Structure 1
Amino acid sequence: MQYLRSLIYVIQVYIAMAVLGISFTPWALLSKRGALVACKLYARYAMWSARWMIGLKVEVRGTVPTGEVLIAAKHQSFFDVLIIFAALPHAKFIMKRELLWTPFIGLYAKRLGCIPVDRGRKGASIARMVRDVAAEFEDPGQLTIYPQGTRVAPGDYKPYKGGTAILYRGTGYTCVPVATNVGLFWPKTGILRKPGTAVVEFLDPILPGVPREAFMAQLEEVIETRSDALMREVQLG
């Protein structure tokens, strides 16, 4: 039964993306605010419908930043993207360049000021990412990056990449780490969505000026430690 509920949820949430994407396109093309409103509405709808269709609730913990900061978040599934986007006033994501060609997502990502990167050309992509971020400085927001570069299922490990440290140093922003347990309920692949409480937690900020190696070590430790703790909460009931 939960699989069937999950299937219905997935189908309707993508239909909602298409409906909202088409409906808001004229406003989004004319104004970045139109894109922001559309994406906020979609994220909130996806979370609201998840609550009553599949029993998946959302909890946001910690102090949500409102100024210009660098958000470095644990990434386990598409759902943590939606929760973070809904929580922040104006999140701008570092994203895979291939997503620019995805219907609706590409258009709205451009209008929101998201920064595409080519993961296949590491040196060139990092240099271009820094230039693109500099070009977006006049448009305030919370620059959001996934330090591991991809979704990582609970229990798996992927190393933290240096692009986060480059942005931290290049922007001079305070960095706010973010932990999550979302992957326990909304897996990286597959249809089944499990009931429970998906938590995204904004952790204590890392102020500017920490040396690169110390910054990366601290970032990984706090995100992984807190994410593991959030997942243990679920497993211990």
Structure 2
Amino acid sequence: MLALRSLLFNIFFYLFTLTLMVVGCPLLLLPRHVGWPIVPFWAHVNLWVLKHLVGMKVEVRGRENIPEGGFIVAAKHQSALETFALIPEFRDPTYILKRELRYIPLFGWYTMRMKQIPVDRGKRSVALAAMTEKAREAVAEGRQILIFPEGTRRPAGAEPHYKYGVAHLYRQIGCPVLPVALNTGIFWPRRGFYRYPGKVVFEILPPIEPGLGLEAFASTLTERVETVSDRLIEETAAAYPDLPVLDRVAERWRERGRMLRRN
């Protein structure tokens, strides 16, 4: 049954995404604010199907920590789930994403029309300057910049590997950074086929206000996100001790000198 539900969701996810992009093509000719509602609609539908077909429920904690106006959202990245599940939580978000995604037919057109921020990872200093300028414009417009500081998906429980980009934006733009911890990789494993039932948690933490030095900011962000993400893994292991992904998480934690406790 798990395999069938996972298969059905995966088929639905890609077919629905493709269908919506095709049907919504006329919106690409309209101002961005007119076409934008199709994006949170896409996210809401996928979350609804996840809940009712797979049994994967999403809980968001800490909404009271979301500030007004423009700021940076720095989220842990364990699966594809957070790439759409976080969208409805913010008024006018924009992602920082690799430039190559703009070349994908239909999908790339939407990223351009919705003013997502591309980064050319092959041109470091030039790319960083261009990304910073676009991000500064977005914050000035009152938008929320969603960035995954590790740059790519990391397996649940793996050693963290935060990159320089988010610290650079924090220093250059001078706006709050909102950390987000999560446990998505246990229910939607990186590069995995199965979608497991249970409670996924996104925990929005208090913002890191401007003014810290680079090292202080980097260590503060890492400590907050990793501490809470590890707590969420422990919480999940206690509630769902038989999830197969937890065996791999336990192995990673043993390599880090930690022990994963289950009921």
Same fold (TM over 0.5): yes
| AA matched with 1:45 | V
> What is the number of residues matched between the two proteins?
237
The 5-angstrom pairing of residues 216-235 of structure 1 reads: 216-235=218-237
Residue in structure 2 matched with residue 99 of structure 1 by the alignment = 101
Q: Which amino acid letter does the alignment assign opposite residue 156 of structure 2?
A: P
In the other structure, the counterpart of 1:74 is 76
Q: How many Å separate the matches in 2 of 1:88 and 1:5? A: 29
Which is further off, 170-179 or 132-141? 132-141
**Matching residue of 2:27:** 27
1:54 match? 54
Bigger shift: residues 204-213 or 25-34: 25-34
Greater mean alpha carbon deviation, residues 79-88 or residues 218-227? 79-88
CA offset at residue 171 of structure 1? 1.3
Other structure's SS at 1:78 match: coil
Cα distance, 1:154 vs structure 2: 0.4
Residue 177 of structure 1 corresponds to 179
Distance 2:50 2:230 in 1: 23
AA at the equivalent of 2:117? I
Percent identical pairs in the alignment equals 38
The superposition leaves residues 136-160 of structure 1 with CA deviations (integer Å, 9 ceiling, x where unpaired) of 4553310111111111110222421
Q: Distance in 2 between matches of 1:32 and 1:95?
A: 18
**Within 2, Cα distance between the matches of 1:170 and 1:111?**
25
Contact 1:73 1:147 in 2 (8 A): yes
Give the partner amino acid of 1:25.
C
Larger Rg: 2
Greater alpha carbon shift after TM alignment, 75-84 vs 206-215: 75-84
User: d(CA) in 2 for partners of 1:80 and 1:102?
Assistant: 20
**Helix, strand or coil for the counterpart of 1:151?**
coil
Pairing 1:161–2:163 present: yes
**In 2, Cα distance between the equivalents of 1:148 and 1:58?**
22
SS at match of 1:156: coil
The correspondence of residues 113-192 of structure 1 with structure 2, limited to 5 A, is: 113-192=115-194
Q: Is the 8 A contact 2:99 2:120 kept in 1?
A: yes
Q: Distance in 2 between matches of 1:183 and 1:219?
A: 20
Aligned counterparts of 1:47 and 1:150: Cα–Cα separation in 2:
22
Q: Given that residues 79 and 188 in structure 2 are in contact (C-alpha distance below 8 angstroms), is that contact kept between their aligned partners in structure 1?
A: yes
Q: Normalized against structure 1, the TM-score is what?
A: 0.95
110-119 or 170-179, which deviates more: 110-119
Indicate the residue corresponding to 1:43 in structure 2: 43
Segments of structure 2 that go 5 or more residues without pairing to the other structure are: 240-263
Contact 1:28 1:34 in 2 (8 A): no
- TM-score, length of structure 2 as denominator length: 0.86
After superposition, the C-alpha distances for 1:76-105 in whole angstroms (9 at most, x for unaligned) are 111112111121111111111111122333
Alpha carbons 2:138, 2:144 under 8 Å: kept: no
1:212 matched residue in structure 2: 214
Name the amino acid aligned to 1:73.
Answer: A
- Mapped contact 2:138–2:145 kept (Cα < 8 A): no
Deviation (angstroms), 1:30: 1.0
Q: Which runs of 5+ in 1 are unaligned?
A: none
- CA change 1:234–1:3 in 2 (3 A) is same
Q: Which amino acid aligns with 2:109?
A: L
What letter is aligned with 1:93? Y
- Shift of residue 126 of structure 1? 1.1
Q: Is the 8 A contact 1:24 1:34 kept in 2?
A: no
The 1:69–1:25 alpha-carbon spacing in structure 2 relative to 1, beyond 3 Å, is same
Moved over 3 A (4+): 134-139
